[in-house]
Amino acid sequence: MENKQIKIHVLHTGEVCVSPYLPFGGDNCSLIKATGLTTKKKDRLWLPVSAYYIEHPKGKLLVDCGWDRAMSPNGEYDTMAQIKSLGSPILYLVNQGRIGKGQAVNEQLNAMGVKTSDIDYVLLTHLDCDHANGLPLVSDAKHILVANDEIACASKHSVTRYKKKWWKDVKLSGFDWNDDKGPVNKSYDLFGDGSVQLINIPGHADGLFAVKIVGADGKYVLLYSDGGYARRSWEEMITSGISLDKKLQKQSLLWIREQSLDDNCIESLANHDPNVIPHNILL
């Protein structure tokens, strides 16, 4: 890898309102509790929806997209606009969202002087709505990558969890794992030099991956998406309420914990941690 710095911009692209059992339900949480259909409005949590812009010597990268502007056309909470954007009243009840003016991912990139057409790779950690709904905002990026395992998962659960309308007019490029890093020995080395590793952390979703960005000195940042919802997830080993395979979810969370406690780990970040604020990281 070239001896140049990598800069990671931690962005918040709006917020999501969920039942507390969705992020922190634990091993015995029921699906009904996790969806929040029985949770009182006052007990729900507003959590950040993160995305990450990475300036790398070998290209411009964006990890996840957050919400589409169509969720909040005027920068305010808008029930009907969200239901239309999500394509599902049920998903709206589970994942209520809002994006203030200037917070959509393309708006933040534009403010940094970055054209979405200049993005070399959009890396979709998985295809849940708060990660993929904003795809139309970056549809002109050069490459939009998602694991083939996740494409298959989205097809299998298209009735309740995923909606193909989020990426209907977007050219997704599916990839197969080409390396053996991580909890289930499945990973993808983006540049072939170990500097950007997409590491399968299944459980929450089949094709979910963490992004491990490694500097020239071996120090790294781990972006573990929804492998855990906050630092407390791996500190206390709290699995989330939405899971396709609880055993694999715990296995992935244990790996996240080990990686986060490694001396070479500079930062370890979940996509929805309320204690993480937007900031920049240099590697």
At 39 the pLDDT is 85
At 31 the pLDDT is 85
At 207 the pLDDT is 97
- Please give the sequence-ordered ranges of beta strands (E in DSSP) within the chain, or none if there are none: 7-18, 45-56, 59-63, 96-98, 121-123, 144-147, 173-175, 187-189, 196-200, 209-214, 220-223, 265-269, 279-282
Tokens found for residue 127: 């295809």
pTM recorded for the entire structure: 0.96
At 237 the pLDDT is 96
Please, are residues 211 and 223 in contact by the beta-carbon 8 Å criterion? Answer: yes
What CATH number is attached to the domain comprising 190? 3.60.15.10
- Number of domains the chain is built from: 1
Is 1 a member of any domain?
Answer: no
Distance, in Å, from the CA atom of 51 to the CA atom of 12, rounded to the nearest integer, reads 6
Is 2 a member of any domain?
Answer: no
Is 61 a member of any domain?
Answer: yes
Is 56 a member of any domain?
Answer: yes
Distance, in Å, from the CA atom of 238 to the CA atom of 245, rounded to the nearest integer, reads 14
Is 250 a member of any domain?
Answer: yes
Task: List the pLDDT tens digit at each of the 283 positions of the chain.
Answer: 445 899 999 999 999 999 999 999 999 888 888 888 888 888 999 999 999 999 999 999 999 999 999 999 999 999 999 999 999 898 998 999 999 999 999 999 999 999 999 999 999 999 999 999 999 999 999 999 999 999 999 999 988 899 999 998 899 999 999 999 999 999 999 999 999 999 999 999 999 999 999 999 999 999 999 999 999 999 999 999 999 999 999 999 999 999 999 999 999 999 999 999 999 999 9
- Which structural domain, as residue segments, surrounds residue 40? 7-282
